[in-house]
Structure 1
Amino acid sequence: MAENVALDTVDLAILRALQNDARISNKDLAAKVNVAASTCLERVRSLQRRGVLVGFHAEADPAALGRPLQAYIAVRVRPHNRDVVEPFIRFALDLPETLALSHIAGPDDFLVHVAVRDAAHLQRLILDGFTSRREVAHLQTQLIFDHVKKWDITVP
């Protein structure tokens, strides 16, 4: 993970442009940020090497893939130690329903974002998947009515 990397105005302009359209060609990106194409390509590569740009992604709509119902499952595991946490993370990430997993502070240990076909699918996932694990001490499920992602991180 990159920590407080020094970025100049060209780097910031490149980041803004890529966050707006990650599929932009290098030629168009260079024109947009007012540098030569070769300079732009090297700047993008430098941002990747320094850990500022960590990926370019294609996102699929879970509803279009037959999983329109999304939920957050807050999970508390016991004991909360590395021997329990690491296998739980692997388990949750291996589930096809899992979209994302966060290891969090507070009364719960994990927040698992899932997408399922319907309420019955969610119930089976919880009862047959999560609660069947010995380390799971508590679950709380919250249905998601709407999910909007903010793709850009505001850069100065």
Structure 2
Amino acid sequence: MKKLDDIDLKILTLLYKDADITNKELAAQIGIAPSTCLERVKRMKNHSIIKGAFVDINFKNIGGNIEAIAAIRLQPYSEQIVNQLRDDLLKLPEIVSLYHMGGSYDYFIHMSVKDSEHLRKFVFNAVTSREEVQTVETSLVFEHSRSGVLPSFEDD
């Protein structure tokens, strides 16, 4: 794909801030035709620049009273083991996000559960019960915030 131009970057900036914006609103804010805007968004989706959009849910309002991050170290460590853990955990409704890491831990798991007993059972049943899991350290999340500012990688 060709290098992104200023219009593409404006589209990404606005979508990053509000993925729910309509194409018509997006085009108007940038000053281009809606058809042009739609084609640019489609092109960026086809080239995996835009991987998707998501809804930011307040888990507390639907019963997820506790959020936690579990840091996991695997032993043995192989691509097959890493991929299987990812695939198995992503099927579970408690999982919000998974991060395959380099460094001391192999995975960080972001989860949401209804209470401390749910957290305890989830960690025991879904994580520590696995043979390849060597270490688990679970920390509570007091607040989770997401930046609405698109990172810039342009040379200044």
Deviates more, 1:48-57 or 1:132-141: 48-57
| CA distance, structure 1, for counterparts of residue 71 and residue 30 of structure 2 | 43
Give percent identity, aligned residues only: 34
Say what the alpha-carbon RMSD is for the aligned residues: 1.7
- In the aligned structure 2, how far is the partner of 1:83 from the partner of 1:19? 33
Find the residue that maps to 1:142 and give its secondary structure. strand
* Structure 1 residue runs without a partner (length 5+): none
Q: Which residue of 1 aligns with 2:137?
A: 140
Letter in 1 for 2:116: A
Deviation at 1:107, TM superposition (A): 1.5
1:111 to 105, 108, 111: 108
State TM-score, norm by structure 1: 0.89
Gaps of 5+ in 2: none
Q: Following TM superposition, by how much is the alpha carbon of 1:74 offset from its aligned partner in structure 2, in angstroms? A: 0.6
C-alpha distance in 2, partners of 1:149/1:101? 16
Alignment of 1:1-156 (within 5 A): 6-155=3-152
SS in 1 for 2:87: helix
Check conservation: 2:76, 2:132, Cα contact below 8 A. yes
Tell whether the 8 Å contact from 2:10 to 2:30 is kept in structure 1 after alignment: yes
Q: Distance in 2 between matches of 1:88 and 1:46?
A: 33
SS for the counterpart of 1:139 is: strand
Equivalent pairs counted in the alignment come to: 153
Q: Say if 2:17 and 2:150, in contact at 8 Å, map to a contact too.
A: no
Which runs of at least 4 in structure 1 moved beyond 6 Å after TM superposition?
Answer: none
Q: So what's the TM-score if we normalise by structure 2?
A: 0.89
